Chains A and B, each alone.
Chain A
Amino acid sequence: MENYLSTRVAYGEALATLGDQYDFVVLDADLSKATQTCLFAKKFPGRFFNIGISEGDMMSTAAGLASCGKMVFASTFAMFAAGRAYEQIRNSIAYNGLNVKICATHAGVLIGEDGASHQCIEDISLMRTIPGMTVIVPCDQYSAYRAVEAAIHFHGPVYLRFGRMSSRPVYQENPDFQIGKGIVLREGNDVTIVAIGDLVKESMKAAEILAAKGVSAAVIDMHTVKPIDRDLIIKYASVSKKVITAEDHSIIGGLGSAVAEVLAEGNLAQLRRVGIMDCFGRSGTRDALMEKYELNAEKIVKTYDSFQD
């Protein structure tokens, strides 16, 4: 098997590479080896601060740095960023519109064996509801790199969500990544599959299976969940009249909800959501978890069959 990168490793490499060109500061909370900010720390020790196991302190410290004009990347696991430090992100960073990039790794149940305590399936929901917060979920190593680059060029708070495991990339090279602009990976008229993260590749597989059955599916990589690309959703939903969302996140509050809000306001299409069905995760291998929680192409295909004409 080829040596593919996880989005978190791509993130770490992006920081270390882009650190030459851009003057940002990186904070971590004792997880620099897991979040891969260690690559930046090694190269730029003067611009890296380990804050220890204190995520709330890290987020407010990031706010203080940003208030003095610094761009800050603050990293930890999604559970401890969006979960534990929600209020510091909201009040210290976002309320002030400060230029802090909250880079949360190990998001979703597909992180594997660590189990429910570490499988954050609520982070997109939590971050999406904060005024002025941009929420980005790259689907592969190339997309992750471009997301970091895009976040650097964007002034203001951004939440970037990265996964733990590596897998074959969706893109052949760096995609044309623009914040707020979904990427159409495949055209189709019968159903529109809107996906993020690991589920983008599963959606492409599902589209292949559906094609064999004579169903033409469009697939959109909706890497920016907020602000969501309304125009693109409306354009495709108006044609297909059937939309499926797919994400490694609770179906409550995440991509599924964001797309539902757009569709409901326009009364445009039937919607089905694939994701974590309002339950906690558990330990297991990535493959076992994909099957257990039905975060796969087969589930997306089955979901298509549930639409009523």
Chain B
Amino acid sequence: MYSSKQLKKISTKMKILALQGVYEAQSGHLGGSFSASDLVAALFFNHLRIDAKDTHAPDRDRFVLSKGHAAPIYYAALALKGFFDEAEMKNLRKIDSFLQGHPSMNKTPGVDISSGSLGQGLSTANGMALAAGLDNKSYKVYCICGDGEIQEGQIWEAAMTAAHYKLSNVILFVDCNKLQIDGQVEDVMNSYPVADKFRAFGWNVSEIDGHDFDQINAAVELAKKATNKPNAIICSTVKGKGVSFMENQASWHGVAPNKEQYEIALKELESELG
């Protein structure tokens, strides 16, 4: 297990790779990548039982990035875990690259299922969890969706399905960065209170600071022990976390930095590495 300090460093490295990729592509989603970065780092380095040398191992844990636009941070985690060379990050979104704008399972090593069209990931996670039950396997299925994404009705269809079939091997993170493309979630279409909704749907629910590794690890360990209900970990996060001018700015949902912005962002992130 990595310490919180080590995980923070890993998360920062992931952000630097994501930043470089999006800068080179001059397109991509950094705001939602950075809000989820600490969650992804904790999952990939402390919890997911996966092996870069055996990417299709039947017993491996599954990961579904339902908010697929956060692909840059997902790819950065896969690169640091050894699924591919981190130099490939500079080809993000470019023609002939295996790093698509949104995750693509048949192109990128380590991606369990394609995503990007919002609202579908929790359902696919449920399917994987049902397969585990049919095959008597003990793997867990981790899924990350956004607080804007849960405006999609299919999320709640899937929330019913997971509870109905007692899919305790499903561990869902809701990355609550409170922003979506058109502005504040509560102004565009209020999806709050999130925790109450999942409780009402029959889930185990915990609420944490999505940038506090001790809280993330504790919540995941608790969820791993669940027996009868699916698990929702509602994470309070900051969109654009780690780069001063991107934090809490809806405008940084899906634009690439220019050269000057890139250099400032890189400097800020590198200073965190110490």
Contacts and interface: CB of A to CB of B under 8 A. Distances in A.
Contacts of B117: 87, 91
Interface string B92-129: 00000000000011100000111011011101111111
Interface of A is mostly: helix
A88 B134 CA distance: 23
Interface in A48-63: 49, 51-52, 54, 56-63
B245 interface: no
Contact of B128 (A47, A49, A67): A67
A88 B154 CA distance: 10
Interface stretch (B81-89, B155-163, B258-266): B155-163
A57 B114 contact: no
Most B CB within 10 A of own CB, among A25, A51, A61, A62: A61
A57 B123 contact: yes
Contacts of A60: 120-121, 123-124, 127, 154, 158
B40 interface: no
Interface residues of B, number: 34
B131 A56 contact: no
Interface string A139-172: 0000000000000000000000000000000000
Contacts of B112: 67
A97 interface: yes
A91 B58 contact: no
Interface in A65-123: 65-70, 87-88, 91-92, 95-97
Interface string B126-140: 111111101100000
B165 interface: yes
Nearest to A47: B134
Interface in B159-176: 160-161, 164-165
Nearest to A72: B127
A64 interface: yes
A63 B127 contact: yes
Contacts of B123: 56-61, 63-64, 88, 92
Nearest to A61: B127
A60 B121 CA distance: 8
Contact of A49 (B132, B154, B157, B165): B165
Given A57-B123, A87-B117, A96 B106 contact: yes
Interface string A4-33: 000000000000000000000100000000
Nearest to A55: B157
A95 B68 CA distance: 14
Contacts of B126: 57, 61, 64
A46 interface: yes
B128 A96 contact: no
Contacts of A92: 113-114, 120, 123-124
Contacts of B119: 56
Contact of A57 (B105, B129, B161): B161
B165 to A, nearest CB: 7
Interface of B is mostly: helix
A52 B131 contact: no
Contacts of B154: 54, 56-57, 60, 88
B131 A70 contact: yes
Contacts of B157: 51-52, 54, 56-57
A54 B127 CA distance: 14
Most A CB within 10 A of own CB, among B124, B125, B134: B124
B128 A64 contact: yes
A46 B158 CA distance: 20
A50 to B, nearest CB: 9
A51 B167 CA distance: 13
B135 A97 contact: no
A63 B124 contact: yes
Contacts of A49: 130, 165
B161 A61 contact: yes
A83 to B, nearest CB: 15
A66 B120 CA distance: 15
A46 B127 contact: no
B60 to A, nearest CB: 10
Most B CB within 10 A of own CB, among A46, A95, A97: A95
Nearest to B117: A91
Contacts of A25: 130, 134
Interface string A185-197: 0000000000000
Contacts of B127: 60-68
B160 A54 contact: yes
Nearest to A58: B123
Most B CB within 10 A of own CB, among A60, A92, A97: A60
Nearest to B66: A60
A68 B131 contact: yes
Contacts of B153: 56
A59 B131 CA distance: 15
20 contacts: A25-B134, A49-B130, A51-B161, A52-B157, A52-B160, A56-B119, A56-B153, A57-B123, A60-B123, A60-B158, A61-B130, A64-B124, A64-B130, A65-B131, A69-B131, A91-B116, A92-B114, A92-B124, A96-B114, A97-B106
For the complex of A and B, 5 pairs with smallest distance between CB atoms: A64-B127, A60-B123, A68-B131, A57-B157, A54-B157
